[in-house]
Structure 1
């Protein structure tokens, strides 16, 4: 008689074999696992390691093919190793010089690659750089510089001369926060900074060569943004409406007022401002149905030729052009790839949307740009698409779409139900990812999207297509005006919903493992089709429990320059040492702690004197039976060394004093702060574990020794 464990294993094996048609869908998951392993390593692996391992494992799998099902295990491991290999190759391929420390004022010459018009000023990306005090071997490939005040007219391809201050791309604001240095490394951005005064245009864009085509297209985008903004200049809310219209038509969001952006985020409508699959799909769909309808009116063509395929070709070109006009960013490239595969499926009489199509699109993106796996855009877009395809596949198998409604009310009802279902499914699928990356959840996004999505799809984007068509004739204002009415409705919806009580829930940062388990459970539910897919539900619930019961926020945070520090109060919020220094980093600290209120300063009257006491020589913070001393003067060093569990001395110390102090306590010096970046400290039972009641993490200690980590000079 078969034992229970053996019977369970047999049932699992039978379910696995029964879903063999879905096996290829797991290839991008395995590839992504290898990419995640690569980026989590503390040091850079040899370039050949992942490729060699993948080749060996693939060879073993090929030799076992047809002899044993074990070949699947070796094949899976080979794909995981391939993920490590492509990530290593990508890192090596994009390597470029990066500014290691602030340069101070210097003369800089460069060619404009990209121009962003902001609410105040401009931001330009410069290439082909040369500058005083920049050695040729250490000159970055590109830098991004902010320009303030009135500037002479220039565009992409022009050569500028300016005086600027350049800095390294900033590191994460605290352990676990967004890594702009890593993003900049893969974008080829070697520095950021700001210019002093006006720039000088010393050369015009080239008129010949491959580069000139790219610059010409960028100049078209800049001209489009200018003309769109001018089309709303006379409107009462022209800047806001024009900024949103510019974002929808060119992908540039810098001209949108911050208040409008805040309302869009709080109402769950921020996705409408990012050029994604929704926008590219709408452009392609509008052009497809318009062309097909127009061709159907010509009887000889409709009866003799495949006008549906002709319309698909036209829609493909329209989607490609729109992706270029939107800047061809990585999210836009992903969106175009997905739409292109759908239209190619129409050309070859295949199912237009399927899970296999999504899998191959993800596979292509991860092979070409493995670092995109770590971004919120990739995670949220593909989680939404996978969830939607899975749900609609299930409904199609159940015959929900077999009987289309016959009345107008039925058609409208089905459309509204479809928008509600799509919004709800996408919201559930992306909610945890949004909470992980942005530490907030828009609680009434469903209500806002039920209004804004139909307005965008049925009114705003069709008029955008008409505006594109009229621009060569200078008549775009005829379409921009009605387009603006729809945008005003979306902005009004966002403003209304954002101000409902409880519109936003702040979420404290949680462990990546909670996110991983939610993703694994969701993929198990979506990719398999047989009943064993339901096993993914408890896995996802386990991940959600990990999210809800994640690690506590640090008790103490210290900025690398030592000027800003924050301590956790008994009320659960933060009190900070200054309200003027490092405001961006301070806001990130609060957001990742799930706090939205402005912090108090240490010496405010409502600061708890039992937790934090300050005098002329420094401050002493106590909690959970432990203490952290912030020393301002060398004469207080000896006393603080012996009475505090952690001593923060952001000042110059002689080696002998450091050695004596380290015997008695954990000492954090100015050198430690510069070398490690922001320090996070947990006291008491917060995160001590086996290492003791005091746990310290640093930004660079968490990131390890990787090519994108800029190390402070000793």
Structure 2
């Protein structure tokens, strides 16, 4: 008997002890890992798209979480998950699951660090308060905005207090838009500058955040004449070519059609009228005005096929090189040139990167229409501009592309579009049906994003796009290219007429669609959680295969119910307390005062989910107004709510004010009120609003949301806190 082996009955190991041996636990973990690994493989798990999603999740976490401590904790959790994945992959069992966890966790951590570092490096501290004084600075950029009868200048001015240059943006009236105000000129001017404004009310546009990443310390308007200290050097570079091209197009084609053609040719949207912009938006055609996937793809495809046909006419070359590779190179150069010419905005760069990847795939004989291609393009854009993730342009662009790729990679669609013996009429009909289905899918994918950012969306966009997209892709843009080419020899006139007819048809479609009953869906405030559920459900449907993908319908269904149950606010209060909107008292929004600009009125209308004209509180029959205050009573859920709203900043006798506050449930004022003013529920005076920002009140729930709740300690909002402490 071998030594060391016990006899039967002598020190025999207990069976329960065997169950606790480490290798038994390891065997169970290995089995679980193997099971999960096989499940992921069966569901079509592809690491590349999920790495891009994790990178986006890390960036989004930084914006959602409030404080640096929370960012650090999230980073530590991601690192812990990565370590757990490494253990699973190396110690428990060598399966793909472990490496997938490591890759996803690393991408999430990298995204969080990336946006944190970018905010720290490029974030611009805002001016502490509004100021009117004389500035001297160098013009960095000039943007033409003829529709608003002005130009917009971005300048570097010297801050006398800090001794550093700061970037500001000012509007210059059209009568002072001299040609000498070009890039490189040094000017002296008097201006009224304001710190970049935070959201007016919860859910409104956050210009302060945008300005933080753009590097703007202030924005404002020029007052009086402009002195040119140093003239601008001779205009060169892409900006000069862009302005020259835009002006040339508008010179040859007037009216609204000329402004649209200038946008297609050079990316200059400054001349498009507000009415045309609004019609295109409500018709679901705004994406045609932004140089993105459609335009870049049309340019690259045209260059590719023209180069392929021309190169094929040279037999010597055709026998020695692969023509698709050469044609792909020509298409890539055309796409990059068009991207640079039109301003290299984020959607254009995204589209160009994706199109170049498609060309590379075609040249290598690989599948060009894949989610891997989309994920690489998304990662490229997020690496360069991580802050673009939270913007509507990035979200809409990639949502549309992901929807298209996922739809056309689905097996039923592949079978429907598979080549077959059929008549020309049937072939065209099949493609038309697919175009309509694609439009519906894109509209469904974009609807939550559009409602979240703009609070309104075109319902009939799928139908309008069936005509508009082929019109722009196959008629308008080729005609513009031909007209510009013929202008070199002075023969472009007849073609410009054809361009005008096609674009007039496009605008006619937009205005007709937008004017139809029910063409616009309004949504006052979609919560961030609702949007997140829509995004999770959409990505799950797009990135998995088989029955697993149907689980994405669950969060999408929950989000839809939450969206339908989202209440409209009863009262909206701006962050400075000067603007108050009251909804639910009829078809018109009640406003405290008329605004000098449309900005306040439009924000209050959009966020209350209303359209049409407004009425001032003083003209509302149910309100009682004096020179200093207005009183109005609102009935919600069987209860009366008494509101006391200040109209002036004049001194009011404190005892009378305290008595009025005691009778009110809510008091709103754009000034500091004494402590003796104690309403029953909410006192939204200047002291409170400085901390909270704008407010949205929901009286049935006796709750409110504030701008500050979504800002945390990020740089663009932390500056407001510092100014308050001073």
TM-score range, shorter-chain basis? Answer: 0.7 to 0.9
Q: In structure 2, what is the Cα distance between the partners aligned to 1:9 and 1:230?
A: 67
Q: What CA deviation, in whole Å up to 9, does each residue of 1:163-215 have, x standing for no partner?
A: 222111221121122211111111222221111244344434457xxxx9xx5
Q: What CA deviation, in whole Å up to 9, does each residue of 1:329-377 have, x standing for no partner?
A: 1121111111111112223222222111111221222232221111111
Q: In structure 1, what is the Cα distance between the partners aligned to 2:167 and 2:585?
A: 48
| Match of residue 238, structure 2, among 214, 217, 233 | 217
Superposed displacement of residue 62, structure 1: 3.2
Comparing 290-299 and 526-535, the one that deviates more: 290-299
| Match of residue 647, structure 1, among 662, 667, 670 | 667
Q: In structure 2, what is the Cα distance between the partners aligned to 1:47 and 1:14?
A: 34
Q: Is the 8 A contact 2:81 2:101 kept in 1?
A: no
Partner of 2:169: 143
Q: Which runs of 5+ in 1 are unaligned?
A: 1-5, 233-237, 687-692
Q: In structure 2, what is the Cα distance between the partners aligned to 1:54 and 1:11?
A: 24
Which runs of structure 2 are paired with 1:125-524 in the superposition (5 Å)?
A: 125-130=153-158, 134-137=160-163, 139-154=165-180, 155-206=182-233, 216-232=237-253, 238-395=254-411, 398-404=414-420, 407-470=423-486, 477=493, 479-524=495-540
Q: In structure 2, what is the Cα distance between the partners aligned to 1:443 and 1:20?
A: 33
Partner of 1:30: 54
Q: In structure 1, what is the Cα distance between the partners aligned to 2:421 and 2:268?
A: 40
Q: Is the 8 A contact 2:188 2:228 kept in 1?
A: yes
Q: Does 1:565 align with 2:580?
A: yes
Partner of 2:658: 638
Q: 1:56 to 1:13 in 2, by over 3 A?
A: closer
Q: Is the 8 A contact 1:129 1:142 kept in 2?
A: yes
Q: 1:441 to 1:51 in 2, by over 3 A?
A: closer
Q: In structure 2, what is the Cα distance between the partners aligned to 1:622 and 1:706?
A: 38
Q: Is the 8 A contact 1:97 1:139 kept in 2?
A: no
Q: Is the 8 A contact 1:380 1:433 kept in 2?
A: yes
**SS at 1:35's partner residue?**
helix
Q: In structure 1, what is the Cα distance between the partners aligned to 2:473 and 2:491?
A: 22
Q: 1:8 to 1:522 in 2, by over 3 A?
A: farther
Q: 1:299 to 1:395 in 2, by over 3 A?
A: farther
Q: 1:383 to 1:464 in 2, by over 3 A?
A: same
Q: Does 1:618 align with 2:645?
A: no
Q: Is the 8 A contact 1:460 1:486 kept in 2?
A: yes
Partner of 1:676: 692
Superposed displacement of residue 227, structure 1: 0.7
Q: Size of the alignment, in residue pairs? A: 679
Q: What CA deviation, in whole Å up to 9, does each residue of 1:73-96 have, x standing for no partner?
A: 455334322221111111112123
Superposed displacement of residue 398, structure 1: 4.4
Partner of 1:3: none
Q: 1:120 to 1:83 in 2, by over 3 A?
A: closer
**SS at 1:351's partner residue?**
coil
Comparing 328-337 and 574-583, the one that deviates more: 574-583
Q: In structure 2, what is the Cα distance between the partners aligned to 1:536 and 1:665?
A: 42
Q: Does 1:530 align with 2:567?
A: no
Q: 1:125 to 1:46 in 2, by over 3 A?
A: farther
Q: Is the 8 A contact 1:48 1:85 kept in 2?
A: no
Superposed displacement of residue 678, structure 1: 1.9
Q: Does 1:579 align with 2:601?
A: no
TM-score for both structures, normalised by structure 2: 0.86
Q: In structure 1, what is the Cα distance between the partners aligned to 2:255 and 2:69?
A: 50
Q: What CA deviation, in whole Å up to 9, does each residue of 1:588-607 have, x standing for no partner?
A: 12112221122222133xx3
Q: In structure 2, what is the Cα distance between the partners aligned to 1:397 and 1:15?
A: 25
**SS at 1:100's partner residue?**
coil
TM-score for both structures, normalised by structure 1: 0.88
Q: Is the 8 A contact 1:144 1:189 kept in 2?
A: no
Q: Is the 8 A contact 1:239 1:257 kept in 2?
A: no
Superposed displacement of residue 272, structure 1: 0.7
**SS at 1:317's partner residue?**
helix
**SS at 1:130's partner residue?**
strand
Q: In structure 2, what is the Cα distance between the partners aligned to 1:651 and 1:175?
A: 20
Q: In structure 1, what is the Cα distance between the partners aligned to 2:488 and 2:126?
A: 42
Q: 1:567 to 1:397 in 2, by over 3 A?
A: closer
Superposed displacement of residue 652, structure 1: 4.7
Q: Does 1:41 align with 2:41?
A: no
Q: Is the 8 A contact 1:646 1:668 kept in 2?
A: yes
**SS at 2:124's partner residue?**
coil
Superposed displacement of residue 138, structure 1: 6.0
Q: In structure 1, what is the Cα distance between the partners aligned to 2:43 and 2:583?
A: 51
| Match of residue 115, structure 2, among 87, 99, 111 | 87
Q: Does 1:698 align with 2:706?
A: yes
Q: In structure 2, what is the Cα distance between the partners aligned to 1:397 and 1:561?
A: 53
Q: In structure 2, what is the Cα distance between the partners aligned to 1:649 and 1:120?
A: 33
Comparing 185-194 and 308-317, the one that deviates more: 185-194
Q: In structure 1, what is the Cα distance between the partners aligned to 2:642 and 2:163?
A: 47
Q: Is the 8 A contact 2:618 2:630 kept in 1?
A: no
Q: What CA deviation, in whole Å up to 9, does each residue of 1:268-314 have, x standing for no partner?
A: 21111011111111110111111112222334433443111111111
Q: In structure 2, what is the Cα distance between the partners aligned to 1:158 and 1:308?
A: 46
**SS at 1:104's partner residue?**
strand
Q: Is the 8 A contact 2:56 2:111 kept in 1?
A: yes
Q: Is the 8 A contact 2:346 2:381 kept in 1?
A: no
Q: What CA deviation, in whole Å up to 9, does each residue of 1:382-421 have, x standing for no partner?
A: 1111111111111477433331566443443344234323
Partner of 1:690: none
Q: 1:405 to 1:420 in 2, by over 3 A?
A: farther
Superposed displacement of residue 247, structure 1: 0.8
**SS at 2:276's partner residue?**
helix
